[in-house]
Amino acid sequence: MLLDQIQKANDIKNINPRDYAALAAEIRDFLVRKISVTGGHLGSNLGAVELTMALHLALNLPEDKIIWDVGHQSYTHKLLTGRREGFDMLKKYGGMSGFPKRKESPCDSFDTGHSSTSISAGLGMVKARDLRGENRTIVSVIGDGSLTGGMAYEALNNAARLETNFIIILNDNNMSISENVGGVSKYLNNIRTSNAYLDVKDGIYYAIRNTKYGDPVVAGIRRAKNSLKQLVIPGMYFEDMGITYLGPVDGHDTASLIRVINEAKRRKNAVIIHVLTKKGKGYAPAENHPARFHGAEPFDVQTGVPLKKKMKANYTDVFSTVMMKLGQRDEKIVAITAAMPDGTGLKRFSHAYPDRFFDVGIAEQHAVTFAAGLAVGGLKPVVAVYSSFLQRAYDQVLHDVCIQNLPVIFAIDRAGLVGSDGETHQGIFDLSYLSSIPNMHIMAPKNKWELSDMMKFAVSFGAPIALRYPRGEAYDGLAAFRAPVAYGRSEMIYEEKDIALLAVGSMVKTGEEVYADLKKEGRFCTLVNARFVKPIDEEGIRKLAHTHKLLVTMEENVESGGFGERVRTFADDNGLPVRILTIAVPDEYVEHGNVDLLKQEIGIDKESILKRIHEVLGEV
């Protein structure tokens, strides 16, 4: 095995160039086998094998720096820097992260997870290098999908006037998670196909020349062709800005890649190397189904079929179905995603109502302000977005939606712990960052029917409103509790006295479990589904405070600025006679791992909550 010869960074340089193709095949085989067991980002990694090898051959790590945009494609980099053993525990609790982590290796120069940051970070490192008189090569690797994010352009704009070396590699596989979208994608595609395009045109000349209108028509086409040529000369867009463009280069030809990287290293300015790759390269199921193998669950290597059968609908499926119904009922409803039509469940809506569906690329900030514009224009925009990615658009939510009190609906998926993607992807801040914004309203459903009821409520609400729901299976318990959603009102589930559990969204299920155990202990207990996080149900809380000695708030969100804090402030301000226990995520980043394990670790699982209730009961 050639891979056996690679134990640490730079060991790849001992491999005979004749064996590069064999090494790439071994790496692919390794990745497919390992990811088929653990799950992980397969397609992007298979596409970046030769590119990563070439970078490691042309650079000297860890002195030189590679910044991986998003970071989901860094598996080969991990493999070439002595982390082969880590793949058995990839994305598992306590195991190797699926993204670059500075604390994991000196060869990981920058932590990533959210897209479009690599050029900014790389440029910062370039400036630091120069100011400190150091001599190292700095390379940012960004995908064509990530190049749809605004930050990338802000950084390119700054990098353009650089008079020192900075290498940007554009890893262009013509795909984001799904098909890439927009003008830049089209531009890159023009470069990809420019030669073929001109050849076809040339063919057309000769055919026309032989007709009776031949010459004038050909002259006209020539003029058009010249201007077209301007458009399709590779990289003019970057060159005009002042960034040297090299490419396009075959991203699966290691020798060519090394040559072009070495050429780029000699330049005294910012250089962009346009590398053409194939997502899923070398593994047919991933080549044929790039979206499915972007982030894969464990699968059968022979067939590519997922090992675990999906038994129940998840919240995304429920949202998807509701959107189909709402879309049919009301043609003012429009849907927006930032490059996640599959992940957010909007795919079906996009097929049914293509004119009312907008995939704006990885551009959450634009998505939100665009939605504000749609609302001003008289439509009912639904922005479907993951909790952690909406963090990007805080100012747009505040400045463009909420100040003007526009009826934009935020359907926030992956709210709460997401598990294996770790600290960059946990959706544990949305209640805090949204609660702080005047005019914003926030709901969280306890089960799948309530998600549907809340969406219906939201589309007729007429002001900014968010509903947040977690990753994974939609809860189908508590089916009997389906009182109509009423503004700012919680829902009483079981009513007694002494201990009141007041739970938000996903925590209602945990609340049921805690309730059952407390009942077994012979205690009196109340369970309330909060439903609204903003505004909180002040009247309901006031009543609970007078009939209970302990009020336990439960949420899958950080404590700071969350639901519990709001309830506590209200109780303090009004001198309510009740002790409050806040169950929330502590003030720290939560790493990757199984969600149940993580909940235990941070103390929001049933056992931890019971323990804390017992502790407090000893005091009251």
At 389, list the tokens: 């990615």
478: left (phi over 0), alpha (psi -120 to 50) or beta: left
At 494, list the tokens: 């079981």
Closest separation in Å from C-beta 172 to ligand TPP: 8
State yes or no: residue 144 binds ligand TPP (CB under 6 A).
yes
Per-residue DSSP letter, 41: -
At 219, list the tokens: 């002259």
At 269, list the tokens: 């300015």
Closest separation in Å from C-beta 521 to ligand TPP: 44
Considering beta carbons, is residue 174 or 269 the nearer one to ligand TPP?
A: 174
Considering beta carbons, is residue 47 or 345 the nearer one to ligand TPP?
A: 47
Stretch that binds ligand TPP, among 25-33, 321-329, 338-346, 458-466 (CB under 6 A): 338-346
Considering beta carbons, is residue 286 or 406 the nearer one to ligand TPP?
A: 286
Q: Which of 36, 44, 426, 435 touches ligand TPP (CB under 6 A)?
A: 44
Closest separation in Å from C-beta 414 to ligand TPP: 10
Q: Which of 76, 146, 314, 447 touches ligand TPP (CB under 6 A)?
A: 146
Residue of 392, 446, 534, 566 marked catalytic: 392
At 108, list the tokens: 């990981």
Q: Which of 46, 168, 339, 499 touches ligand TPP (CB under 6 A)?
A: 339
Query: 3-class SS at 482?
Result: coil
Q: Which of 173, 321, 452, 557 touches ligand TPP (CB under 6 A)?
A: 173
The answer to whether residue 127 is catalytic is no
Considering beta carbons, is residue 83 or 279 the nearer one to ligand TPP?
A: 279
Closest separation in Å from C-beta 268 to ligand TPP: 28
Distance between CA atoms of residues 27 and 191, nearest Å: 29
Reply yes or no: is the peptide bond before residue 248 cis, omega within 30 of 0.
yes
Touching ligand TPP, residues 520-549 (CB under 6 A) = none
Considering beta carbons, is residue 178 or 526 the nearer one to ligand TPP?
A: 178
State yes or no: residue 91 binds ligand TPP (CB under 6 A).
no
At 316, list the tokens: 């995304």
Touching ligand TPP, residues 343-362 (CB under 6 A) = 362
Distance between CA atoms of residues 326 and 421, nearest Å: 32
Q: Which of 12, 49, 66, 70 touches ligand TPP (CB under 6 A)?
A: 70
Residue of 279, 380, 534, 566 marked catalytic: 279
Nearest to 441 by CA among 414, 460, 424: 460
The DSSP secondary structure of 274-287, one letter per residue, reads EEE--TTTT-HHHH
Amino acid at 72: H
Per-residue DSSP letter, 497: S
The answer to whether residue 134 is catalytic is no
Q: Which of 177, 397, 545, 604 touches ligand TPP (CB under 6 A)?
A: 177
Q: Which of 76, 176, 254, 344 touches ligand TPP (CB under 6 A)?
A: 176
Considering beta carbons, is residue 70 or 443 the nearer one to ligand TPP?
A: 70
State yes or no: residue 426 binds ligand TPP (CB under 6 A).
no
Closest separation in Å from C-beta 57 to ligand TPP: 21
Closest separation in Å from C-beta 551 to ligand TPP: 37
Considering beta carbons, is residue 339 or 437 the nearer one to ligand TPP?
A: 339
349 touches 329 (CB < 8 A): no
Would you give the binding string for ligand TPP spanning residues 454-493, x where CB under 6 A is met? Answer: ----------------------------------------
Distance between CA atoms of residues 399 and 18, nearest Å: 58
Considering beta carbons, is residue 72 or 91 the nearer one to ligand TPP?
A: 72
At 620, list the tokens: 């009251």
Closest separation in Å from C-beta 364 to ligand TPP: 6
Considering beta carbons, is residue 340 or 552 the nearer one to ligand TPP?
A: 340
- Cβ neighbour number for residue 527 with a 10 Å cutoff: 27
379 touches 371 (CB < 8 A): no
373 touches 360 (CB < 8 A): no
State yes or no: residue 427 binds ligand TPP (CB under 6 A).
no
Per-residue burial over 346-376, b if 16 or more Cβ lie within 10 Å, else e, is: bbbbbeebeebbbbbbbbbbbbbbbbbebbe
Q: State how far the alpha carbon of 338 is from the alpha carbons of 173, 341, 353, 367, in Å.
A: 18, 8, 17, 6
Stretch that binds ligand TPP, among 68-76, 345-353, 584-592, 606-614 (CB under 6 A): 68-76
State yes or no: residue 114 binds ligand TPP (CB under 6 A).
yes
Within 13 Å, how many C-alpha atoms sit on residue 22's CB side? 9
Considering beta carbons, is residue 339 or 379 the nearer one to ligand TPP?
A: 339
- Cβ neighbour number for residue 281 with a 10 Å cutoff: 20
Nearest to 385 by CA among 415, 357, 344, 349: 344
Stretch that binds ligand TPP, among 138-146, 314-322, 446-454, 595-603 (CB under 6 A): 138-146
The answer to whether residue 312 is catalytic is no
Considering beta carbons, is residue 169 or 580 the nearer one to ligand TPP?
A: 169
Stretch that binds ligand TPP, among 7-15, 137-145, 462-470, 530-538 (CB under 6 A): 137-145
H/E element, 17: none
Q: Which of 34, 65, 72, 366 touches ligand TPP (CB under 6 A)?
A: 72
**Displacement of CA 233 from its chain's centroid (Å):** 33
Query: 3-class SS at 586?
Result: coil
Residue of 364, 491, 555, 556 marked catalytic: 364
SS3 string, 396-453, reads HHHHHHHCCCCCCEEEEECCECCCCCHHHCCECCHHHHHHCCCCCEEECCCCHHHHHH
Closest separation in Å from C-beta 47 to ligand TPP: 6
- Beta pairing class for 532-534 and 441-443: antiparallel
Stretch that binds ligand TPP, among 3-11, 170-178, 318-326, 409-417 (CB under 6 A): 170-178
Instruction: Tell me, by CB under 6 A, how many residues bind ligand TPP.
Output: 23
At 575, list the tokens: 């001198």
Would you give the binding string for ligand TPP spanning residues 247-276, x where CB under 6 A is met? Answer: ------------------------------
CA dihedral 396, 400, 406, 409 (to 10 degrees): -10
- Residues paired with 492 in a beta bridge: 528
End-to-end CA, the chain: 66
Q: Which of 39, 86, 143, 304 touches ligand TPP (CB under 6 A)?
A: 143
Touching ligand TPP, residues 377-406 (CB under 6 A) = 389, 392
Annotated catalytic residues are 279, 364, 392
Q: Which residues bind ligand TPP (CB under 6 A)?
A: 44, 47, 70, 72-73, 114-115, 143-146, 173, 175-177, 279, 338-340, 362, 364, 389, 392
